[in-house]
Structure 1
Amino acid sequence: MRLSAQTPLPVSVQVPDYDRADQKPGIVHIGIGAFHRAHQALYTDAAMGAGDRDWGIIGVSLRSGDVAAQLNPQDGLYTVSRRSAAGTGVRLIGAVQKVIVAADAPQAVVDAIAAPATHIVSFTVTEKGYLRGPGGSLDLDAARGSSSLYRFVGAGLAARKAAGLPGPTLLSCDNLAGNGAVLKALMRQYLLADHSGLIDWFDRECRCPATMVDRIVPATTDADRAAVEAALGVRDEGAVVTEGFSQWVIEDDFAGPRPFWEKVGAELVDDVAPYETAKLRMLNGAHSALAYIGLGRGHEFVHQAIADPAIRPVIERLMRHEAAPTIDAASGQDLSAYADALLDRFANPALHHRLIQIAMDGSQKIPQRWLETLAWHQARGEHCPSLEAAVAAWIDFLRSDRPIDDPLAAPLKAAAAGADAARRIFGPTGPIASPWRP
């Protein structure tokens, strides 16, 4: 039997304590993968449970129909399982109302963005979904493609303007440095090229706040779904597994109404940058290093790699002595305690986070996760042994026989094949990888 709105569930499962049928959709979320369902959708569900109203989520899948096939037959319902060494807690999430597959119903996506009740359009499309060219500007040809976020958002904004509606908040929840400013700049480039009559309205009406999101969400496996089914007594094809920790820091700059996320654990701040920088350079930077070094030593999961006595000191040094000194911490932001917490989170044996999942799209992730830390130390005549080891492990990964899931896989593998691979990849002023041969 499949999970649905009519399914009875065990009393141990936390369920939505609001009338789902009475909630209007106030958010369109583009890129409705496991991370969004374990993070922003959970915060939104909790906000409605705390008394907020009309923040139902319409999810949009730009390419695959997998999430729609998982959630739509379940009335949008799914469970989030929080796993730790102490056990598992399960929560039913009711915030998602439906999922649209953009390739199947493109006008439905535009209509959802243009709907009067929509106040927020949010995104988790990964770094590569922003379609930036080598110099960081928008790849306009790609942005005009059938699966581009810009195509749908641009058409939705045009429809809103034509109807006399206010502009929405565009909320990037991806791991991009200055993600709000990046999204705004790229959106403006697209509008100037294809919707030039919208640009003044966009500047006046819309807002693109910066955010920092933090929660480890491994890809759900068949074994995970089987475990959830055993606990619920019904099949949940949309089940998500995550850790207990969650953090969301949001710049308080919205175009209109927003959920009261701060009442359920989110932090609304004037400046996200210190939190974002710490997350990108310490957590994400360490994650990528763990992935490439750990895979090179034959590990499959994060908790195995961090338990390796040859790897843990490399990761500790990366966080404490290489990344942390480059961060201008906010008042009360304890980077040493943050490093302690990260090491504990990485070591969680109940969360089977695959290293190969983290290793995907290295060309899109590494510039933000490693290169700014390396540049900061190089400007001071200093070396970063841990990050240089990570660069070498990445080059070894590119040289291996593994399939490389990266939009630049072919040129990267060609560059890595050279004897002086570090300079070939990063340029004449880039870092020289120290030897790392596990």
Structure 2
Amino acid sequence: MSTTPILQFGTSRFLQAHADLFVSDSLARGEALGPITVVQSSGEATRGRRLQALTAPEGFPVRIEGIEAGRPVQRIERVTSIRHGLSTATDWPEIVRIAAQEAEIILSNTSDAGWVPQREDDEPRFHQAMSYPAKLTQLLLARFRAEGRRLTIMPTELVARNGDKLRERVFELARPLAPGLADWIAESVIFANSLVDRIVSEPLEPAGAVAEPYALWAVEEQPGLVLPCQHAALTQVSDLNRIERMKLHILNLGHSYLVAGWLAEGGAGSPLVREKLADPAVRADLESLYAHEVLPVFAAAGYGDAADYVATTLDRFANPFLAHRLSDIAQNHAEKLHRRIGAFLHWGAALGVTVPQPRLLRVLATAEQAP
């Protein structure tokens, strides 16, 4: 079995069109640590076919469709970075060996349920019903006992400060497992905070995905951090909060603003974001909102690149191939309005911004009536 310095938990279509594709591109240029072993951690036997397809020698396709530099693009890229596919339900000893001896990075994009603490998490030995953080702690225990070298843990789940939160849970689990384990983790394991962004609209069977051209993998700088590859979409940043604010208060804010307009009209049908943007009046209103009510706040905060992010966001919204429905975005709409618009208005006020923001205030006022 060939050496794989990247151990990946998760087989999602997002990872296929994001990290796996980036590593594949970088391997072809000699700019990646090496290939990937993918771990399917839920133990679902039905996903065995996907594991096999992920490791096919010819790779699997990622179909890129959308707007790039203002022009429609459609292309197919093949991912050949995955060498092995394993399951925690059947291959745990081999996963332990790779984690203890080979891995330089363990990355993950597991389901929300995978992070929920389980009763079995407190068991001294591996149990398939453990949460992902508990399974990871078992692997770190094996590496500790093998006197393994430094390791980077890189979660990509959409959790704010995901590395910090994962480290906190791992420490809780590690302290009672073995004397010295928690100290070794503190000294030898780096937990990276990261933010990922790419709309992956649908899977391809048995493996592969359809994704937009835009992609971002932002990782917060810290001493000793190891990255899986060098890629244009992968960047180290000193302040991850900056990128999180732009995503939340430009892209996500725009989504919720469009949803609010649709609901105000009665919420009929199931329109796509791109269909709304095709209406000149809707697009002009959104562009005006960004220019007059949103960008002044970012300017006051010193975000000189916010205008470029707005332009990219409008391209993403107008993607002629993406099936992104307002009815999907409308889920938990009231909560989203408070996080995306209410928090933005508070931020602007704290910065001393006094420009009129009537549309944002009007939309926020509907939060109590939102579905």
Same fold (TM over 0.5): yes
> 1: distance between equivalents of 2:260 and 2:47?
29
Identity over aligned residues, as a percent? 25
> 1: distance between equivalents of 2:81 and 2:158?
23
CA contact (8 A) 1:243 1:351 kept: yes
Per the alignment, residue 86 of structure 2 pairs with 100
In the alignment, structure 1 residue 29 sits paired with structure 2 residue 15? no
What are the Cα deviations for residues 337-373 of structure 1, in whole angstroms up to 9, with x where unaligned? 2112101111111222344554567799777645532
> 2: distance between equivalents of 1:300 and 1:79?
28
User: TM (normalized to structure 2)?
Assistant: 0.77
Pairing of 1:275-294 with structure 2 (within 5 A): 275-290=243-258, 294=262
Q: RCO (CA 8 Å, sep 6+): is it higher in 1 or 2?
A: 2
* Paired AA for residue 41 in structure 2: L
> 2: distance between equivalents of 1:245 and 1:70?
25
* Cα displacement (A) at 1:181: 2.7
In the alignment, structure 1 residue 88 sits paired with structure 2 residue 74? yes
| Higher strand residue share | 2
Pairing of 1:398-413 with structure 2 (within 5 A): none
Pairing of 1:22-421 with structure 2 (within 5 A): 24-52=3-31, 55-63=34-42, 64=44, 67-73=47-53, 75-76=55-56, 77-84=59-66, 86-102=72-88, 104-105=89-90, 107-108=92-93, 110-111=95-96, 114-125=99-110, 129-131=114-116, 146=129, 148-192=131-175, 197-220=180-203, 225=204, 236-253=205-222, 255=224, 257-262=226-231, 264-290=232-258, 294=262, 296-308=267-279, 312=283, 315-316=286-287, 319-320=290-291, 324=295, 327=298, 333-355=304-326, 357-358=328-329, 369-370=340-341, 372-377=343-348, 385-386=359-360, 389=363, 392=366, 396-397=370-371
> 1: distance between equivalents of 2:297 and 2:178?
40
Root-mean-square deviation (Å):
3.9
Q: Report how many aligned residue pairs link the two structures.
A: 353
User: TM (normalized to structure 1)?
Assistant: 0.67
Q: Which runs of 5+ in 1 are unaligned?
A: 1-20, 132-138, 226-235, 398-438
